[in-house]
Amino acid sequence: MTSDLDPSTVVVHAGRPERVPNAPLGESPVFSSTYIAGGDRGYGRFGNDAWDAFEQTLGELEGGRGLTFASGMAAAAALLDLVPVGGLVVAPQHAYSGVLGLLDQQVATGRVKLRRVDIADTDQVTAAVAGADLLWVESPTNPAMEVADLPALTAAGRAAGATVVVDNTFATPLLQRPLDFGADVVMHSATKFIAGHSDVVLGAIITANNDLWTALESKRRNLGAVPGPMEAWLGLRGLRTLALRLERAQSNAAFLANRLLGHPRVSRVRYPGLPDDPGHARAKAQMSGFGAILAVELGGDAEGAQRVCESTKLWVHATSLGGVESMLERRRRWPAEVPTIPADLIRLSVGIEHPDDLWSDLKQALKA
């Protein structure tokens, strides 16, 4: 593909087979664990046509070379495995609880050392990254919606000799390209916005560093953290509509954020698209949109927040995000969520339904 195409076009056309007569328009999943000897495929754990197409598309969108994994956690585990035994990781105090939980496990066994930081506090992160082997960045953060200064943090991390990883799950490559800011690796839970239909578990890594790509591909192969061909194919099929899904979901999120801002039961709305949000100016400078995730707080009323989640009729009370359907949950219902996340915080993943219907359902749930 040519670099002058808009990302909304690239997401549709990248990773396609060569246009020759009778060729299929898109790659098909190849259901085989075994390949005839003499080629470069070797074995089912080493490669698959559906992986190749998915990785090429994501690579073009992010500006690097892609690798697909069995899940977002498999991708995260491969990245953390790059850290030498006893090495230092700097990570956000608020981020996906699965990654933070894995880090805590590795600290408990002496596998790594850990410094937790407020990822939105650039000075704090810059000071903490001295001597680190890996800087883990998530922006916007899950579920606190904090926005990191990506250019400043990647510069600080690389100056300190740390590998800089950015979890780009919330923003997607259509709103933010961390490699352009100097990050070494981008990670996605492709289960979420990338695949977009709540029907597949998938992860991905993209890097422009060939040595890093080779090391991560080796870990995927040797650890067996490979996706099935059908999962990769579903991820690619979902990715084709990302631009349209994100456009509608993001518009809905902005509409709802403004409506919720004026509701008497809501004490705080966390959404970088709001002018008064702490991350607004930073997000506006480094993102091309504000995304489709927001969070609200209900004045300390954790029980009320739980009742809201259990009272919706259209919104799905579920723990995932990034699907075409709108989902919500009180994050502290999970024991693994960090205690600095308010107990009354509700994370909302806004889908592509009609905004008036979504608002009506939220209003009746807040009233209930």
Active site members: 45, 96, 167, 192
Asked if omega into 143 is within 30° of 0 (cis), the reply is yes
Q: How many CB atoms lie within 10 A of CB 63?
A: 16
- The Cα 332–Cα 42 span in angstroms is 46
Give buried/exposed letters for 128-164 (b at 16+ CB in 10 A, else e).
bbeebbbbbbbbbbbbbbbbbbbbbbbebbbebebbb
> Helix (H, G, I), strand (E, B), or coil: what is residue 99?
helix
List helix spans (H) across the chain: 7-13, 49-62, 72-80, 97-108, 122-128, 150-159, 210-223, 229-239, 242-261, 280-286, 302-311, 355-367
169 token code pair: 């799950």
Return the amino acid letter for 51. Answer: W
Cis status, amide bond into 29, omega within 30 of 0? no
The token pair at 315 is: 């919104």
In the DSSP assignment, the letter for residue 357 is: H
The answer to whether 163 touches 185, Cβ cutoff 8 Å, is yes
Residue 164 phi/psi, 5-degree rounding, is -105, 120
Show Cβ contacts of residue 270 under 8 Å, excluding neighbours closer than 6 positions: 144, 145, 277, 294, 295, 296, 297, 345
Q: What is the DSSP letter of 228?
A: P
- Report how far residue 226's alpha carbon sits from residue 139's, in angstroms, rounded to the nearest whole number: 26
**What letter represents residue 154's amino acid?**
T
